[in-house]
Structures are given as C-alpha cells and as structure tokens.
Amino acid sequence: MLRRFVCLLAAGLLAGLAASCSPSTVPPRPQPSSLDGVRPNAGPFEAGAVAPPANGSWLGAWVRPAQLTQAGRVAAVRQYEATLGRRLKVVNTYRRMDEPFDTFSDRQLGRRGAVLMLSWATGDTRSITLGHSDRLLRARAAELRRFADPVLLRVRWEMDRPNLAATMWSPEDYIASWRHIRAIFEAERVPNVSWVWCPTAEGFAAGRAPAFYPGDDTVDWICVDAYAGSRLAPLQDLLTPFLRWAADRPKPIIVGEFGIARSWGSRTRSDWLRDAADFVRSWPQIKAVSYFESDPDGNGEAGRFRLVGDPPALTAYQTHFR
C-alpha cells in the first residue's frame, strides 16, 4: 500500500511539473456561442450588380502592399495569391473620398476574375446631405460607370465606431447621406454597383449598429467586420449578434474584414482559423469572406493580423478556407 501511495505521489508531481513547463501563452480554446433557433436566410437574395455564388462562399482579402503605389498594390495581391496557391475572388481596397476609382490597380486586380470591393471613406454625413460634395460624387460615379465591371461598394464602412461619431453625427444622418450618395449614382446611371452596408461586430454586440441600417430597399449586401484582437473569441461568437439580425434580411452576407491577432500564437491562430472556416461553410447566407492581411502602423501585437510570416497559421488558412 505504501509503495502504491509513493508511486501515485510521484506521478502527480511529474504531471504537475509537466504542466508547469507547458507554454503558458496558449489559452484554452474558447467554445463558440449557440445560434439555436436562428436559421440563415435562404434567399432568394436581392444583391444588385454582384450576384453571390449559388453555393459556398468567395474568399477575398485586403493585402497591404509594402509600397502604397498603384504597382505596389498589384504586386502585393499577386504575391499573396502565389503564396496561397490560388486567386482571390474578392479584392478589398480602401479609398478616401477625394481619391479616384478606376485606377490602374483597380483594373489590374478587378479584371482577373475577381470582384473589386471598394471600401470608401465618404466623410461628414451632414456635409454630404447638404450637397457640398455632389460634384465629387458625380465624378466618382462616372469613374465606376467607366470601369463597367460589377463592384462591391462599402460606403463608409464601420460607421458605428465611436471614434467616427463626430463625422457620422447620428444614425439618421448616416442614412440620409447614404441615400443621397445612392441617388446621385442612380441619376448618373451607374448600373454596375452593389451597395454594401458594413458595421462592426462590436456595434452589434453593443446594440448600436442596427440603427445605422439604410433599409432593404437601398442595400444590396450586408456586411460585418470581426476580429479576435485583444479578446479571443471564435468567429461564430463574434458574428452571433449580427447573424441574428441578418437572418431577417433577404441579403447575402460578406464578412468584409476578419482576422486573428498574432499575439495569440500560431497554435491558437490555427485552431481559430479552422473553426472559422467550418462555421462559414455551415452558414449558407455568408457568401464571401475577406481576410485582413495587414499589420497596421502603430498597432501592437493585438492589432497585427498578417498570416504571412506565421507558417502554421497560414497553412491552416490555406487548408480550411476553400
């Protein structure tokens, strides 16, 4: 009996020692929240110029270039596609209100079988509604009409962020500016745009995002941006408040930006990406996802999302997002 007790005690000490030597930076894998009772909208979808895939979802990305030039943008996407071993179906790119559409990079990236998603920072909502930007808006409309190929246009994405409150003014002001912009594009006869409304996952969790919705009659795709940054949560958990709302809308969904921070480590990132891909496949209303392949300047590790440079995480992404 004594001998058995000593053996058990030794085994326990060894197990404790092994646990203390395990990497402490790998957190337990969080369990996704439940969407019991909620069913994705099966359509038919009113999606505007960009029709969603009949089955599955498109894979896209914003790929930050080493140099913010026209050639640099093209080179960054092509290198990323070479690394993935396949082409992107959606290429996200960002524009200020005063920056033109139909650029060299737009044509190079949007006419290779990919859909261009223009994320457009449109500025002060009241100024827009008062007509102060009409001349510029007509110029942007003409550029997209000339581009001709169908595009996804994210008008002032993440409008629900608290740090944009000074220029958004209110949900009502945002909606008025959205409708003003769309009316100008319609007057300029721009048929090749799908209008994408894209708040944040945090805005849905807090309950503030739905008030910014311009309405089913003027939105073609609904969208959300979701990150596992300083807080680790599965993509399903991050998207749940949005998906509960979206299930009542006859619109296809695009996850306009998503990512998991480098600070969580390769193993956790790999698990997170695998679970994210499984969930996207299980929710057929999600018709496109776009990874945020970028480490923005000034961000700490919790705000850096690039997968290139993290081989295990990149392999998980390549393997599971298909």
How many Cα atoms are found within 13 Å in the side-chain-facing hemisphere of 314? 13
Q: Does a cis peptide bond (omega within 30 degrees of 0) precede residue 44?
A: yes
From 89, 167, 94, 180, select the one nearest 130 (Cα to Cα): 180
Count of Cβ atoms closer than 10 Å to residue 45 Cβ: 19
What is the block-wise mean pLDDT of the chain (322 residues), using blocks of 10 residues? 40 38 48 78 94 96 95 96 96 97 94 92 98 98 97 98 98 98 98 98 98 98 98 97 97 98 98 98 97 94 96 98 89
* Token code pair at residue 212: 């910014």
User: What pLDDT is recorded for position 243?
Assistant: 98
Residues 255, 286 contacting (CB under 8 angstroms): yes
Return the domain boundaries, the chain: 58-320
pLDDT at 263: 97
| pLDDT of the residue at 113 | 83
Amino acid letter at 16? G
The predicted pLDDT at position 32 comes to: 63
β-pairing verdict for 253-260 and 58-63: unpaired
Total-model pTM: 0.89
**Helix residue ranges, H only, 30-170:** 70-84, 104-110, 125-129, 134-147, 165-168
How far out from the chain centre does Cα 78 lie? 20
Query: What is the C-alpha end-to-end distance of the chain, expressed in Å?
Result: 58
User: Using one digit for the tens of pLDDT, what is the confidence trace for 75-134?
Assistant: 999 999 999 999 999 999 999 999 999 999 999 998 778 999 999 999 999 999 999 999
Our measurement of the distance from residue 176's CA atom to the centroid of its chain's CA atoms, rounded to an integer in Å, reads: 24
Report CA 59 to chain centroid distance, whole Å.
Answer: 11
64 close to 293: Cβ distance less than 8 angstroms: yes
How is residue 113 annotated by DSSP?
Answer: S
pLDDT (tens digit per residue) in 136-170: 999 999 999 999 999 999 999 999 999 999 999 99
Q: What is the dotted CATH code of the domain comprising 58-320? A: 3.20.20.80
- Hey, which residues does 227 pair with through a beta bridge? 259
pLDDT for position 322? 83
